[in-house]
Amino acid sequence: MDWIVPLILTVITASTPLLLAATGELITEKSGVLNLGVEGMMLVGAISGFAVTVSSGSAILGILAAIVAGMLMSLIFAFLTLTLMANQVATGLALTIFGVGFSALVGSGFVGFPLDPLPSLSIPVISTIPVIGPILFSQDFLVYASIAIVIATGWFLTRTRAGLILKAVGDSHDSAHAIGYRVIRIRYMATLFGGAMSGLGGAYLSLSYTPMWAENMTAGRGWIALALVVFATWRPGRLLAGAYMFGCISVLQLHAQSAGVNVPSQFMSMLPYLATVIVLVIISSDYTKIRLNAPACIGKAFRPAQ
């Protein structure tokens, strides 16, 4: 049973970046904006967080830099799609292509730098309880933050006035505008929140999950986060479950080899991607469920009548 605690710990660290990025995208999409640039924003967040942490020696500064970098990336997206009304799908793809190139360029000077992972916040006494202690009370603070944020998101969307306004903007921008809400401004804020969370998710990868920088280190996690939002049918509670399920799958591939499963490593590495496809198929085939939960105006440009 010695292996089970470290296994659960790796599942938690593997799930956290997905959860962070997907929570941000959920809010963005709830406002009616589809930002496909999550992968690019995560990469830029990852390199910004890593570079600033290495240069300044402060992980807090690094994390802040990643958040700001993610927001700047999403600001480019928001300006193009919300102000200039460019196609959201194409702009999201451009954001990812740009993010891959930009992060690789900035990161070329940081390949191979060692970094200590984020310190875990061991809560005195209770973190020494066997099994439960290390799993529940001895994580780094971003793990706690990610869970707190997803719970807060659920509360925000269902229990607050601002959350209801956000959903109204995503479901019917014309009605929301007619009642007097500033559709474009609200969408800007939701998109910026998405960028901040993607940046944070990227920083978690480069500062804690694998404390280093490598080109394209997100390896499709941004796209998996996008799929998770659909899987969760835009509900934060299901998002939490989904992110941890995917964390399990990606850890499975790492541990199967050492457990003596005789399958070539490449096939194990395919698992998260295949699981994403399968999960998307299962959820999407229930057409009414998607219709009922998807923001009705997702991906549609809005131009206020003057």
Partner 1 sequence: MIRLEPRRSHSQAMVYLSPVLAIVMTLIVGGIIFAFMGKNPLEALYTFFILPISDSYGVSELFVKATPLVIIAVGLAMGFRANVWNIGAEGQLTMGAIFGGGLALYFYDSQSVFLLPAMLVFGAIGGALWGAIPALLRTRFNANEILTSLMLTYVATLFLSYLVHGPWRNPEGFNFPESRPFPDAGLLPIIYDGTRVHLGTAIAVFVVIAGWLLLSKSLIGFQLRVVGKAPQAARHVGFRQKRMVWFTLLLSGGLSGLAGLFEVAGPIGQLQPSISPGYGFTAIIVAFLGRLHPVGVLFAGLIMALTYLGGELAQISLGLPSAVTGLFQGILLFFLLACDVLTKYRIRVGSVATKGGAV
Give me the residues that bind partner 1 (CB under 8 A), please: 36, 40, 76, 80, 83-87, 89-91, 93-95, 97-105, 107-108, 215, 219-220, 223, 226-227, 230, 264, 266-267, 269-270, 273-274, 276-277, 280-281, 284-285, 287, 290, 303, 306
Name the minimum Å distance from CB 167 to partner 1.
21
Which is nearer to partner 1, 100 or 151 (by Cβ)?
Answer: 100
Residue 26 Cβ, how far from partner 1 at the closest point, in Å? Answer: 15
Nearest CB to partner 1, comparing residues 139 and 253: 253
Question: How far is Cα 239 from Cα 210, in angstroms, rounded to an integer?
Answer: 23
C-alpha span between 204 and 196 (Å, rounded) = 12
From the number of C-beta atoms within 10 Å of its C-beta (0-12, 13-18, 19+), residue 305 rates as exposed
Least separation, in Å, of the C-beta of 196 and partner 1?
A: 20
Q: In terms of CB distance, is 6 or 101 closer to partner 1?
A: 101
Closest distance of CB 48 from partner 1, Å: 15
Instruction: Provide, rounded to whole angstroms, the least separation between the CB of residue 292 and partner 1.
Output: 14
In angstroms, the CA 111 to CA 107 distance is 6
Nearer to partner 1, 175 or 269 (CB): 269
Q: Give the orientation angle of helix 4-30 with respect to helix 236-258, to 10 degrees.
A: 140
Q: Closest CB to partner 1 among 112 and 264?
A: 264
Q: Which is nearer to partner 1, 77 or 209 (CB)?
A: 77
CA distances from 73 to 1, 194, 259 (A): 44, 10, 41
Of the candidates 144, 152, 140, the residue with the CA atom closest to the CA atom of residue 116: 140
Minimum distance, C-beta of residue 127 to partner 1, in the bound complex (Å) = 37
Residue linked to tokens 């799958």: 249
CB atoms near residue 57 (< 10 Å): 9
SS3 category, 68: helix
